Amino acid sequence: MIVTPRWLPLYLVPELLKLRDDPSLVWIKRRSGPYHGAQLSACPALDTLGLTFAHPFAFTPPVNTQRVFLLCAPEGAEIKAHVDDHMGVVVQRIVMLQPAKSGGILMVGDVPAALQAGDACAFDPNRQRHRVTRVEGCERIVLAIQYF
Alpha-carbon gap, residue 28 to 41, rounded angstroms: 14
**Per-domain residue ranges for the chain?**
2-147
Give CA angle at 136 (145, 101), nearest 5°.
75
Is the pLDDT higher at 13 or at 48? 13
Phi, psi of 52 (to 5 degrees): -125, 135
What pLDDT digit, counting tens, does each position of 53-96 carry? 555 544 444 445 678 888 888 899 998 999 988 887 888 889 99
**pLDDT tens per residue across span 88-114:** 788 888 999 999 999 999 999 999 999
How sure is the predictor about 128, in pLDDT bands with cuts at 50, 70 and 90? Answer: very high
* This prediction's pTM: 0.83
What average pLDDT does the structure give for the chain?
82
Q: What is the pLDDT of residue 61?
A: 44
Which CATH number, 3.30.565.10, 2.60.120.620, 3.40.50.300, 3.30.310.80, labels domain 2-147?
2.60.120.620
**Averaged over 44-52, what is the pLDDT?**
61
Beta-ladder partners of 121: 3, 94
Is the pLDDT higher at 42 or at 115?
A: 115
